[in-house]
Amino acid sequence: MSVTTSPPAALASIRRMTEEEYLAFERHSTEKHELHHQYLLPMSGASFQHKRIVSTMHIFLGYILRDQDFSVFQSDMRVRNPLTEGYYYPDLVVVRGEPSFADGEFDSLLNPVLISEILSPSTSSNDRSGKFTSYQSIPSLTEYILVAADRLHVSHYRKLEDNRWEIRMYTNETDELPLLDGTVNMPLAEIYRRVKF
């Protein structure tokens, strides 16, 4: 897989910032933005279905992992990716052990082991390619989950020992995702609880 390190042409008119400028700006902003190749990208709002799936997954994982050495965060926790020296707000993040942060503000994670994004028509392509490529540069990351919000479909990427990534697709309500080295089996029925298509 080739890795692109130059920004997409569509970003040419968007404001550029260094990491330091971005963090200072973002911490005083009333809206969320991501930083990609030093370009500031405003985040759009999420649909009801999107929010319901994120909430359900967060509650499920948080409850199952409550007495184990994991922390589960929702979409307000930033994650830094080394490839673009950028920052994203994943829909769901899991950390094993003590969270490590970019600085003393405790709001930009460096060591997620699992990241999940809920797909929408406007973000699907980037979540599958650009963001995934960037997330792969995080040494601690071993799992990436993409959840469709408009149908029963989950893509589970898992990092192998030789640093290749395998993908498995789940499309049946009775399917279960084995997560975090088998620590959790997450049923699709739980992910899509009360979601209507």
pLDDT tens sequence across 132-183: 999 999 999 999 999 999 999 999 999 999 999 999 999 999 999 999 999 9
Compare 158 and 13 and report the one with higher pLDDT: 158
Task: Look at residue 156 and tell me if it is in a domain.
Answer: yes
Question: Is 6 inside any structural domain?
Answer: no
- Whether 2 shows a pLDDT value over 50: the answer reads no
- CATH code for position 148: 3.90.1570.10
Closest CA to 183 of 135, 91, 113: 113
Give the Cα separation of 54 and 46 in Å (integer): 10
What pLDDT score does 3 carry?
47
Written as six digits, the tokens of 97 are 């052990």
**Average pLDDT of span 37-52:** 91
Quick check: helix, strand or coil at residue 133? helix
Q: Does residue 11 belong to any structural domain of this protein?
A: no
Q: What angle do CA 155, 121, 55 make, to 5 degrees?
A: 60
Predicted pLDDT at 7: 54
pTM: 0.90
- How many domains does one find in the chain? 1
Residue 196 counted as domain residue: no
Decide if 10 is inside a domain. Answer: no
Inside any domain, residue 19: no
d(CA 86, CA 35): 5
Element (H, E) at 186: strand 184-187
The answer to whether position 97 is within a domain reads yes
Q: In this structure, what token pair is assigned to residue 15?
A: 């404001």
The kind and range of the H/E element at 158 are strand 154-159
CB 156 within 8 A of CB 185: no
Which residue segment(s) compose the domain that 70 sits in? 47-191
DSSP secondary structure of 68-113: TTEEEEETTSEEEETTTTEEE--SEEEEESS--BSSTTS-EES-EE
CA distance 172 to 154: 9
The phi and psi torsions of 71 (rounded to 5 degrees) equal -125, 140
C-beta separation of 102 from 80 below 8 A: yes
pLDDT at 130: 82
pLDDT given at position 121 = 73
